[in-house]
Structure 1
Amino acid sequence: MSNKNKLVATIDGNEAAAYVAYRINEVCAIYPITPSSTMAELADEWASKGIKNIWGNVPDVIEMQSEGGAAGTVHGALQTGSLTTTFTASQGLMLMLPNMYKIAGELTPAVFHVAARSLAAQGLSIFGDHQDVMAARTTGFAMLSSNSVQEAHDFALIAQVASLNARIPVVHFFDGFRTSHEVNKLELLSDEQIKSMVPDELVIAHRKRGLNPENPFIRGTAQNPDVYFQGRETVNTFYNAMPGIVDKVMKDFEKLTGRKYELFEYTGAADAEHITVIMGSGSETVEETVKALNKAGAKTGVIVVRLYRPFSLAHFIKVLPASVKSIAVLDRTKESGAAGEPMYQDVLATLVEAFQQGKIKSLPKIFGGRYGLSSKEFTPAMVKAVYDELKKENPKNGFTVGINDDVTFTSLEYDPSFKLDESEWRQGLFFGLGADGTVGANKNTIKIIGENTDLYAQGYFVYDSKKSGARTVSHLRFGPKPIRAPYLISKADFIACHQFNFVEKVEMLEFASEGATFLLNSPYSKEEVWDKLPGQVQKQL
């Protein structure tokens, strides 16, 4: 497409995914739950405004009394031959598990869009990691991970088309808050592009599989030991075909848009000795850090996982450099009592099998680690610490990074002063109170700059679960190239304090870069304000 024909928008990950999901479904069964709520709310809003899907109809948006009810509605609507979706996260996804086994077992195409979030364990957390989707990995759903706002938009379509082709339902997930609530500039898919990706014959085939009294068919029976086992094995060919189908859909999508995706994507040195394996928003941090390390003479790399289920051995070893000596598999989840976290075990089993079959000549050392639970920061400094650990003679297995584990001593030490080149960006921090308008104003600023200039823009907004009335910090970045930095700003060119009493409570100026501008919203006159500032703030200024 020419630049003239590109539709550019500055929106968050939730809206990016919902924009496509709404247009390629006929029923949206919803029960909003943080951080996926916006997807359900937007679908409801669009339907009330009469916005139509790509077939010219307004989708039915049905709000139930729980996520379990929403999943039951999805299951029922799918059995009539309707294209149906839902949006959920965390405990909501857990309530959907029984219906998910049925939907997958009956080979029914559908996509569940999940803003991946922590599960309530020792405490409830509304923030993002992969605990919920990992708890759903045995349901039979395929699992497709998007790493950015643009990918959340694109993969919503890729997941639907692949599901219709393969008859395997898909969990399309992205990191709660870090992707779902990040505002970024992206290229929107037009309705014409979306429609060209969805073959009518696949929609018709789905329709024909719907239960209809005029064409009787039995489904959902009880089975005994004589046939149940055999029945479970009959799905093997469908799952064996799924990776190839997703790969083909990604290639078709590239021809349409120019945006290239692969099931497993390698970035780094061709002769890398130490690599990581990761999925989700943290992969962008790792990719950018790998580029910086290699520029300084290192031999590192990273494999980004996009299709997590089914986990394709053939596609994984295709991108694995033959020179690799050690691998760190980074999971954004914790599975207490297990031999290792889920993706670590998948990579370990895959490479052992590949080695036994003679598909790789040597077996690298494989280590597992955890990062980023409950939206804990994951920075370039932490990535470097992982690669430094891999260089050691005996790296830790089951390590953590980003925390100080002074109980079982799993954590890796890292140097917080290590940073990537940020010279092309202009970065701003805005301190406000929940519901005081700071976040809303900053979202508007991002949209104005992103949609009316050639600059790329990124906005991320930090607040706790109390939301209204709690302190908020808006992190805004602007630059001439796409911004791939899913971590907080540590040094800003511009700092704004919208509540004067923060100068006594919050160390804001420690985030100021050399020559930064400090904007203070003050109830005092310019003659009085200096004397009202704490001595420490006066010294810093």
Structure 2
Amino acid sequence: VFMINCQWTPEELEHHLDAEAKRYIAQNDIQLYTINAIDLAIEIGMGKRTNTILQSAFFSLAGVIPQDDAIKYMKDAATKSYMKKGQEMVDRNHKAIDLGASAYTRIEVPAEWANASDEAAVDELKGRPELVKQVREVMEPVGNMNGDSLPVSAFVDYADGQFEQGAAAYEKRGVAVSVPVWDPAKCIQCNQCSYVCPHATIRPFALTEEEAAAAPESCILVPAKGKAAAGLQYTLVISPLDCMGCEVCVGQCPTDSLSMAPAEGQLAQQAAFDYCVDNVAPKPQLEDATVKGSQFKQPLLEFSGACAGCAETAYARLVTQLFGDRMYVANATGCSSIWGGPAATSPYTVNKDGHGPAWSNSLFEDNAEHGLGMLLGYEAVRDTLVARTENLLAAEGASAEAKEAAQAWLDARGDAEASKATAAAYIAELEKIAAGECAEGAANAQAILDNKEYLTKKSVWIFGGDGWAYDIGYGGLDHVLASGEDVNVFVFDTEVYSNTGGQASKASNIGQVAQFAAAGKDIKKKSLAEIAMAYGYVYVAQVAMGAKPAQTVKAIAEAEAYPGPSLIIGYSPCEMHSIKGGMANCQDEMKRAVDCGYWNLYRFNPAAPAGKKFILDSKEPAGGYREFLMNEARYSRLTREFPDRAENLFERSEEAAMERYQHLVDLKAMYDKE
């Protein structure tokens, strides 16, 4: 028995199944059924969750136990599993079980399917040869569940663990039931939709007259706004085959310029997206470290397998837009290693020059040390380049042009953009020397060219979740921050061990229900940011993208520019929080958290002048703290299971939040006096 969950009619199914599937079904006498659990789930208020409907249909068709018994056992299990989320959730699941038991349709398999002819071969994949090879020989077989058939020889090129960047762009999974549709008449071109997109599937572009003329018909163009964009055409393109349908962009749009529509009717948008990605050149005059300007930069993290609506990927994607072409990432084991480094399908990618983040995952407990090691190794190579460049300057046979380029690079090597610009001219001169007749000079020049990628100043980042930063890897993190070295740490704070199923961490707050805190955590959240601030020479920021978008990008830019250790902690709503309305409300939930005082925004910059070292970006809490807690089942479930304890813990949590804000106000006053 084979059941397909789809929205297709029996007639449409004929066109969607490929020849191989048809032959297999017909030749093996398989009973074929379809079920539209997608629409059923929406109708009964289950959103995108079809699993309960499908499970009920399975037991109905499989007949492994009597159907009445199966329904009873499933309803008992649903009551036990979902009562913590309220009776309404239990009732929805019970209804899903009843519907699933009979919502499927038997499809008569045509006899001609047994001899179905294969379709014409698809176009050859385009891209870097080494990446296409990886996609064809490893990613596609694994994605098609044929990984066990791969020979050892298929992995020889990847024996050291290195995979090509950018393979995720070839997946085109098409998993979204509905995708965004853009209304340019309402759009103010703020780019906030792209700014919050977890999967980089909605992007703004500015096109020249020539680029606009060659664009496909599905690419909607309007005059770009702003003096710097004079003469350019603006478009907002969506990749329906990569979109996860999370709806975060729709909720973020301040002018209701985006709405959701069935994905099947929006596939023409793919041509516009692909054209812009492949053919529209960067517009440096529009790119800067602002909410709008950052989104004209190419995201070098795209199409990850993270949960729909994920906050972590939105933060990480933004960092790659600002620094990705010269970026090293040491990643702690956890959610960010799962969506960041699945074998053969890397969502981290490269630009048209082949430059992108170099990403590595070591262990859970030593990630900070791993990142520091990246920096020290890079600096050791760079020290050698400096010494060789000084040798070139001292050489009698070097031309004036070569010495000028060498000196320019030496002077600029500590500045990211300046080192990039001077490196290009320096490399051109080195290539001339390497091809020259002076053996000694040629060898020295070639040695520099062999490591030319190190000429541009790198941006070293350490990514991880709160389980790593607050708990298991804290000792290493503290060591790295104390070192004074120029590393940047970004903590995705979900306040729980998300990847391992929802265990409490030291980032979990008072009253939060999690594994190992079933009756609500009774100890307040660890103040990791203030611990780091105590050193006095660590840049520290707490951010929440959905609460104050400009503050987030400003903090990231300041942290990277600071010539020492930096720590950014980003509030990251998660599936584990069970937010009412789901992760479509991820960014809104950040705003609620900040408005009520649950999460505070601030920046501590040791390099800033007196009176500006500590900036408190949060306003005084506006109330609604208890309402915020009740909007998330990780808190609200406690009121049903331990109501008296819930009242006590929630009261303590709110008191602690108000005291924390006043403490930050006092802290600001103290720094302002210095």
Larger Rg: 2
Give the structure with the larger strand fraction. Answer: 1
TM-score by length of 2: 0.28
Between the two structures, name the one with larger relative contact order (CA 8 Å, sep ≥ 6): 1
Larger helix fraction of residues: 2
TM, length-normalised to structure 1: 0.34
